[in-house]
Amino acid sequence: MQKVLIWIVSFIITLSTAYYQRITGPTYPINDKITFNNTEIKYTLARSHGGFENHEVILETENKNLDINLYWKALNSPEDWHKVKFEYKEGKYIGILPNPKVLAAKLEYYVEISNQSETIKLPQDKDFIIIRFKGDVPLWALIPHVIVMFGAMLLATRTGIEALLKRNNVNKLTYWTIGFLLIGGFILGPLVQKFAFDAYWTGFPFGYDLTDNKTLLALIGWLIALFMIKKNYKPNLGVILASIIMLVIFLIPHSLLGSEADYQEINKQQTERSIEN
């Protein structure tokens, strides 16, 4: 009975951590609604786009008489804002955000809604939204990666509780944790990143990608814990610390300080396509 309870507690902790990481990440969309001109407007401002098609910014409302414009430019670029007018179709205003077709490209954008007497801006609490473009990641690669990484986090929590209670399965659970972390973070993770950003690994020593680096740090923590188990030197303490380290670093929002293309490359691609057209 105690074993089942430990698994339940571990699952709740892991699920809560994963949810927090997701909603606080820089790619989590803004879903909200406002009332403007006595009309409700529902909208989603995405912060991530997969694939090479253009991105549609959609606002839902029954009011057909609004003037809505989308403004965008490459992140950190000194260029002027580009303006795109929304078109109304079947209860929706649709604005087209052009795909830079550069992996890891980031664009700044915002929306202005106007009538004859008033103008409001979306988002309302900041100057603009940042959206990152990536390649299309197939589900056969993405789903196993997500499942195995969740399993690694679950096992890390479960192993930490096992060590805290000084139970007998710490050794075996440590091996399972390391195994899941290796498969999810160092085999499936790079595969997903290759599809998304055409690079297997952009953390240390090749770059500063925080997701890669925190995965590496988690593995180092668990390898140290395993070493302490093998040397029989405060094994439970080592496992507890490794579990805490992994919990803390995975509370850091996913994709924070992730891959990012230089705005000059984005502008170059835009110019080349303009010439071709």
* Highest mean pLDDT of the ranges 72-76, 190-194, 272-276: 190-194
Residue ranges per structural domain of the chain: 2-25+137-249, 30-134
The predicted model gives 138-156 an average pLDDT of: 97
What is the pLDDT, as a whole number, of residue 277?
47
Mean pLDDT, all residues of the chain: 89
SS3 for 24-71 is: CCCCCCEEEEEEECCEEEEEEECCEEECCCCEEEEEECCCCCCEEEEE
**pLDDT for position 38:** 85
State the pLDDT at residue 256: 57
pLDDT for 109-134, tens place per residue? Answer: 999 999 878 899 999 888 999 999 99
Distance from C-alpha of 16 to C-alpha of 26, rounded to nearest angstrom = 18
Distance CA 103, CA 193 (A): 11
Supply the pLDDT for residue 252.
82
What's the average model confidence in pLDDT over 19-23?
90
Query: pLDDT at position 1, please?
Result: 63
Going by pLDDT thresholds of 50, 70 and 90, the confidence category of residue 262 is low
Q: What is the mean pLDDT of residues 164-174?
A: 93
pLDDT at position 168: 87
Confidence of residue 25 (pLDDT cuts 50, 70, 90): confident
Tokens 């690694």 belong to 152
The answer to whether 67 and 116 are in contact (CB under 8 A) is no
Helix (H) or strand (E) holding 120: strand 119-122
The percentage of the chain sitting over the pLDDT mark of 90, rounded to a whole number, equals: 68
170-183 and 210-230 are packed helices; what angle lies between their axes, rounded to 10 degrees?
150
In Å, how far are 32, 71, 75, 133, 266 from 56, measured between CA atoms? 16, 13, 18, 13, 19
Do 231 and 223 meet the contact criterion of CB atoms below 8 Å apart?
A: no
Res 274 pLDDT > 50:
no
Model pLDDT for residues 47-93, shown as the tens digit of each residue: 999 999 999 999 999 988 899 999 999 988 888 999 999 999 989 99
Please report, for residues 11, 14, 55, 83, 177, the alpha-carbon distance to residue 151 in angstroms, rounded to integers and kept in the order given: 10, 9, 33, 45, 8
Helix (H, G, I), strand (E, B) or coil at 156: helix
CA distance 112 to 125: 13
What's the pTM value of the predicted model, to 2 decimals?
0.85
pLDDT above 70 (res 182)? yes
Interval 223-240: pLDDT, tens: 999 999 999 899 899 999
Alpha helices (H) in the chain, listed in sequence order: 2-23, 139-164, 170-183, 189-197, 210-230, 235-249, 263-276
Q: Could you please state the CATH topology (level 3) that the domain comprising 30-134 is classified under.
A: Immunoglobulin-like (2.60.40)
Task: Find out whether 34 and 41 touch, Cβ atoms under 8 Å.
Answer: yes
pLDDT at 94 over 70: yes
